[in-house]
Chains A and B, each alone.
Chain A
């Protein structure tokens, strides 16, 4: 964004008003104010989302798509209304391209089982990176073993950057699918999806994008990116858990067989065979997460109401400030220093293991994540057994970054 835009977004962003929307943030932990810096794992929920879900259960709940009574009609309207909100949020061409699922892991498995396993041929190549979350590695290993696909990967640089030239080197005429993270959950590295989509399509390959760590930090326009599949999850964008989204281009989803079979995804069923419902129902078997989808819609409206540009500017300021403060700690090394990254900071401290770091700073009310972050190959690539990760969200402040730094001082006292 331009400097002028950045300044404008910064000056109108009222983090205290935003914090007041999140009931849990006023909690104390071990007698200290809660400093929640684990948004990468899951984000807290604003009252607007909590209230939307409560109102569903209190006044508009019934199963969807199947009742001929008013209450069911209202529930269906709210549920399908959430789908429209998601379509607008991603700027998808049609609502048929928005499929609700449980989470990103389920979405990637859906693409693996319905697209890679059924549409691709043995010997076709799938390319991922060594930065991926296990959910974007394991399903492809399963497909490699089951369908005879060839699985290759791009390695990130020592700084945790993604280089498109390295991807280009791996592409062959047999490459049919590239599946990449939009933003690294460990390092915050942003992958240039638009450029990758162009490269993929030039070589006759499709592009699947894991946007779990992206949609809360930047506007995502799937038509502009021109990706073929895009996944994100509700609980990381201030919505409830149990709801994830698959965006897929209609012509691709049309050509895929169903993932899960059951009610709602069929047109007709006999004991001999069944026929499938139209999109998106074909991929939504059984009773969906009704209140969760509606909660997701409320979360996306909340975020859009504040404005993703403003959120991004606020978070980048936090990232720069926290990075600078952390760099002053003896023996602290930041893992992942790409120039283009979101507000995620993974680090190691000499002589102190992430488990110990997080236990100690928990006493000061600071919540961070310790371990592999479901990215064991990346840990190996970066030469570390584990990291501690602080991930900043829309309601975090510079004061909280200071609290983190002060708490790490206590770690230094114990592990000197």
Chain B
């Protein structure tokens, strides 16, 4: 069980949590959404700048949350930059699958998912999956033009 904890709280996660990337508001943001974790205690605001082709030019987040949600938000804002809406949503699907699958799937041939693999330790802690997926649900809501997100919709 201690191995599970070590896998969940890898150095990379703790690093992102302590020093999150893109912890700011996007200056010329044209999308914004707030996400609340039903496992209450995490609240994130995701801002995006999406160009006329539907490509994410800039992504950032603010808010307060646990190490998992902050690390996931930090990585999410790095990875979605340059992606189209369709690509971002597709990546979220695959990320969600990675966090919830029972199988020991190898994601190393998926470049984006490989970067997010550090978060897969959350599989052993089902209650914390919502912490990992909250920033992504919030990003998706922002892309759809909604202002509030939760992991339940």
A interface vs B, CB < 8 Å? 30-31, 351-356, 359-360, 363, 370-372, 385-386, 414-415
Chain A residues within an 8 Å CB radius of B9: 356, 360, 414
| Also in contact, A355 and B8, with CB within 8 A (given A30-B1, A415-B14) | no
Chain A residues within an 8 Å CB radius of B67: 352-353, 355-356, 415
10 smallest beta-carbon distances between A and B, as pairs: A386-B41, A355-B66, A353-B66, A371-B41, A371-B40, A385-B64, A372-B40, A30-B1, A356-B67, A356-B66
Determine whether the beta carbon of B41 is less than 8 Å from that of A372: yes
Is there a chain A Cβ closer than 8 Å to B128's Cβ? yes
Determine whether the beta carbon of B40 is less than 8 Å from that of A414: no
Tell me the complex Cα distance, A177–B68, Å.
Answer: 44
Determine whether the beta carbon of A414 is less than 8 Å from that of B39: no
Determine whether the beta carbon of B2 is less than 8 Å from that of A371: no
Determine whether the beta carbon of B66 is less than 8 Å from that of A354: yes
Tell me the complex Cα distance, A359–B8, Å.
Answer: 10
Is there a chain A Cβ closer than 8 Å to B65's Cβ? yes
Q: Point out which of A353, A363, A370, A385 has the most chain B C-beta atoms below 10 A from its C-beta.
A: A353
Chain A residues within an 8 Å CB radius of B64: 385-386
In whole Å, how far is B48's beta carbon from the nearest beta carbon of chain A?
23
Determine whether the beta carbon of A363 is less than 8 Å from that of B40: no
Q: Which residue of A lies closest to B127 (CB)?
A: A359
Q: Which residue of B lies closest to A379 (CB)?
A: B41
B interface vs A, CB < 8 Å? 1-2, 4-5, 8-9, 14, 18, 39-43, 64-69, 125, 127-128, 131
From A352, A353, A359, contact of B65 by CB (8 A): A353
Tell me the complex Cα distance, A144–B67, Å.
Answer: 39
Chain A residues within an 8 Å CB radius of B66: 353-356
Tell me the complex Cα distance, A353–B65, Å.
Answer: 7
In whole Å, how far is A386's beta carbon from the nearest beta carbon of chain B?
3
In whole Å, how far is B42's beta carbon from the nearest beta carbon of chain A?
7
Chain A residues within an 8 Å CB radius of B43: 385
Determine whether the beta carbon of A355 is less than 8 Å from that of B14: no
In whole Å, how far is B120's beta carbon from the nearest beta carbon of chain A?
15
Tell me the complex Cα distance, A371–B64, Å.
Answer: 12
Q: Which residue of B lies closest to A374 (CB)?
A: B40
| Also in contact, A354 and B41, with CB within 8 A (given A359-B128, A360-B5, A385-B64) | yes
Q: Which residue of B lies closest to A30 (CB)?
A: B1
In whole Å, how far is B38's beta carbon from the nearest beta carbon of chain A?
10
Tell me the complex Cα distance, A38–B37, Å.
Answer: 20
Tell me the complex Cα distance, A30–B125, Å.
Answer: 13
Determine whether the beta carbon of B39 is less than 8 Å from that of A371: yes
Q: Which residue of B lies closest to A410 (CB)?
A: B5
Determine whether the beta carbon of A356 is less than 8 Å from that of B68: yes
Determine whether the beta carbon of B125 is less than 8 Å from that of A359: yes
Known contacts A355-B42, A359-B125; 4 further A-B pairs (Cβ under 8 A): A355-B65, A355-B128, A356-B9, A414-B14
Q: Point out which of A355, A359, A385, A415 has the most chain B C-beta atoms below 10 A from its C-beta.
A: A355
